[in-house]
Chains A and B, each alone.
Chain A
Amino acid sequence: MSPAPDIEKAEIDRLIESGKCRQALAALRAYWRANMRLAAVPYVLGRFEMIKQAVPVRTCKLAILRSFTVEPVTQLLKASAAVEGIDLLVHVGGFNTYAQEMLDPKSSLYSFSPDILILAVQSRDIAPDLWNDFTAMNEAQVADAVDRAGTELKNSIDVCRSYSDCHLIVHTFETPFPPSEGVMDWQRRDGQTQAFRKINQQLQELQTRYTGLFLLDYEGLISETGKLNWHSEQNWASSRLPFSAQALPRLAEEWLRFLLPLTGRSCKALVMDLDNTLWGGVIGEDGIDGIVLGHDYPGVAFLNLQRVILDLYRRGILLAVCSKNNPADALDVLENHPAMLLRPEHFAAMRINWNSKTENLRDIANELNIGVDAIGFLDDSLAERELMRTCEPDVTVIDLPKDPADYARTLREAAVFEQLTVSVEDRSRNRYYSEQRQREKAKSDSFSLEDFYQSLSTTVEIAPATASSIDRLAQLTQKTNQFNMTSKRYSSQQIADLVANPEWNVYAIKVADRFGDNGITGVAIVHGGVPAHEIDTLLLSCRVIGRTVETAVLAYLERKARQSGAAVLAGDFISTAKNAPTKDVYRAHGFCCVTESDTRSRWEFDLATPQHIDTPPWLDVRVVEQVHT
């Protein structure tokens, strides 16, 4: 067994001890999603008990009437609900006494007074004759049995409706496989499969008559796993549990899909990234003709994701863009790319700029007038998702898988966007507003950006160029558009010439963090003259932008210049269509602007003053001195 879960547990416990309860709940959610098993339930529920007074929690009374063992599923459901901020109180009815409990106004069901009732009855129990003795029944007897089952359900539900206004979730009935008459079952109009489908049709008619009555497609749920894998004759025989261990989390999750909208825990808005999320590639680097989006590989994966997002839009989910880009570049794609399904009119809010995504997301929440806990966040970047999880623990971060081909399915399966009716939505919205004040208060224990940088454990290595890094450095000068102060393009031969020239220093910058090693992702080229050390090139790949790596590099260059007796460290900023985000880098690090035109500005850092550029404390900077090859 891997030791990883215990490290996570220690982190959760640390957050609880330091009073960061909302972060603890978010961490507990991540832990539970990775360890959705019975042995993890006591830990998750125990920690939830410790923090539930300090986080926004909805309580919900859930009754389950059943004809089979549901207790292990109930355990998983309690933990799944807890990590979503739902404190679940569960009442489980006796075996096969569902009809009695619904019909008797004095039953323990009604004294429990549930908010939600799940009716989980198996096909073999609602109509034992159809299940066990089908081959002995004639056409009239089959029709009778179907009617009897439908009437029994209708009566129970009618009576239940008159005693309770709880939401009612009814499992539909699975068809037997293989049927009692084998392949012959489908060679007639009234086979065993059809008989159970007819009972389901009666349920569907009931559903249209009652508000607050919802059907759970049990057959569909089983077929996702497959009947052979779902069912366990062993567990049925020994414990009246009809399924195998792998079915438990699936059923618990399906129940949660109903609980989230019914308790007002669903999301109202989806905030999404653009580059490598809505299309493949980076618009600022690749341009509108270079990004991938269309009906064929590889663009089809992104088109499929857009189709799911469009479905959400049509179901009333608000959409918003949150992207680090030049607005003109991104809007050009949204307005003009022929394959885009999503257009500017689909978005209720847009933040396309170079601010942090957490700041933009809070801004969007304000503009849409919803809480951040009603927002789902979709971004291909693991670092952005971690930042969001850390700084805004109430946001539902959707974890996109590595392969874009799986993006669409992942979003389609996100339980937080499940809806049941519009009226349920409206009802829960009221609850949100009444809790607004609580949320305002809870904001005070937010993580800072510094805490997040610290948590990334970033290592920056600054090393002189070597024969083996020359090609990569040249490639970076060719390809990098966004964080590039001068955008000077060099061939490998030109870089090699600079490396060989003692007046020049060429540095390769490597960045690694706890998510992995990014390799060489930055270049600095400095001409070491007197009185000024001149920064000819300073660039960072877009993969490592926004991590304060540039501060570490500038701090190093400043120290080097000082050591070699220079009076000034100088650098130019040459404006291009793509490098707007780097415009203020020198100003932010204490450089003074000495000349400025529309396209070009010159900056100097005075080394005669005691002022220094400080290396950020959250970066582990390793300087490699001259390498002898």
Chain B
Amino acid sequence: MTQAVLDQVRTLAADLFSMPPEAITPEASPETIEQWDSMQHLNLILELEMTFGMKFTTREQAEMLSIGAVVTTIEKKLSRASA
């Protein structure tokens, strides 16, 4: 997990959930963050779509259920795009 992508995701999630970035750990998930409901999950996906200029498949959207999983998915897509 690279720091750059993690930092970007944390900033974005912190703004979206109105939380301090420190609270957004790689382990953070809908179980640990009250604001992360299904509507905010959609908002998060849309923000990531915008920020990283990528579209997520329905399967990816369903799997991105922790900050760590979000970062891993983005990195996988980024490395595929650059390969």
Contact = CB atoms under 8 A, between A and B. Distances in A.
A42 B19 CA distance: 10
Interface string A231-257: 010110111010011101000000000
A239 B47 contact: no
Given A234-B57, A239-B42, A37 B47 contact: yes
Nearest to B14: A39
B6 to A, nearest CB: 13
A241 B56 contact: no
Contact of B47 (A1, A38, A69, A235): A38
A71 interface: yes
A134 B2 CA distance: 50
Contact of A72 (B18, B43, B57): B43
A573 B61 CA distance: 73
A545 to B, nearest CB: 42
Given A1-B8, A40-B15, 13 more contacts: A37-B47, A38-B46, A38-B47, A39-B12, A234-B58, A234-B61, A235-B45, A237-B58, A238-B62, A239-B61, A244-B55, A245-B50, A248-B46
Interface in B10-55: 11-12, 15-16, 18, 39, 42-43, 45-47, 49-50, 55
A276 interface: no
A302 B15 CA distance: 42
Nearest to A75: B43
B11 A71 contact: no
A232 B42 CA distance: 13
Contact of B46 (A40, A42, A72): A72
A43 B45 CA distance: 19
A244 B49 contact: yes
Interface range on chain A (Cβ under 8 Å from partner): 20 to 34
Contact of A37 (B8, B50, B55, B58): B50
A248 B56 CA distance: 16
Contacts of B49: 244-245
Contacts of A39: 12, 15-16, 47
Contact of A238 (B11, B16, B47, B58): B58
23 contacts: A38-B46, A38-B47, A39-B12, A39-B15, A39-B47, A43-B15, A72-B42, A72-B46, A75-B43, A232-B55, A234-B57, A234-B61, A235-B42, A235-B46, A237-B58, A238-B45, A238-B62, A239-B45, A239-B61, A241-B42, A241-B46, A245-B46, A245-B49
Contacts of A75: 43
B18 A42 contact: yes
Interface of A: 1, 37-40, 42-43, 46, 69, 71-72, 75, 232, 234-235, 237-239, 241, 244-246, 248
- Chain B binding surface SS class: helix
Contacts of B55: 232, 234, 244
A618 to B, nearest CB: 35
Given A238-B61, A238-B62, A69 B42 contact: yes
A69 to B, nearest CB: 7
Contacts of B62: 238
A138 B55 CA distance: 38
Most B C-beta atoms less than 10 A away, residue of A1, A69, A241: A1
Contacts of A69: 42
Contacts of B12: 39
A42 B42 contact: no
Nearest to A45: B18
Most B Cβ at <10 Å: residue of A38, A40, A232:
A38
Nearest to B48: A245
Given A37-B50, A241-B42, A42 B58 contact: no
A244 B42 CA distance: 11
Nearest to A247: B46
Contacts of A43: 15
A234 B45 CA distance: 11
Given A71-B39, A238-B62, A245-B50, A42 B56 contact: no
B46 A1 contact: no
A105 to B, nearest CB: 29
Nearest 8 interchain pairs by C-beta: A39-B15, A245-B49, A245-B46, A245-B50, A42-B18, A238-B58, A238-B61, A39-B16
B58 A246 contact: no
A118 to B, nearest CB: 19
Given A237-B58, A238-B62, A38 B16 contact: yes
A239 B62 CA distance: 10
A75 B44 CA distance: 13
A98 to B, nearest CB: 20
Contacts of B39: 71
Contact of A38 (B8, B43, B57): B43
Nearest to B15: A39
A245 B47 contact: yes
Contacts of B47: 37-39, 245
Contacts of B8: 1
Nearest to B60: A234
A370 B8 CA distance: 46
A39 B40 CA distance: 10
Nearest to B7: A1
Nearest to B49: A245
A69 B43 CA distance: 11
B43 to A, nearest CB: 5
A238 B42 CA distance: 9
A374 B49 CA distance: 37
Nearest to B61: A238
B30 to A, nearest CB: 15
A43 B17 CA distance: 10
A43 B14 CA distance: 11
A610 B82 CA distance: 72
B10 to A, nearest CB: 11
Nearest to B19: A42
A567 to B, nearest CB: 65
A514 to B, nearest CB: 26
A457 B11 CA distance: 31
A234 B56 contact: yes
A252 to B, nearest CB: 12
B14 to A, nearest CB: 8
Contacts of A239: 42, 45, 61
A40 B47 CA distance: 10
B27 to A, nearest CB: 21
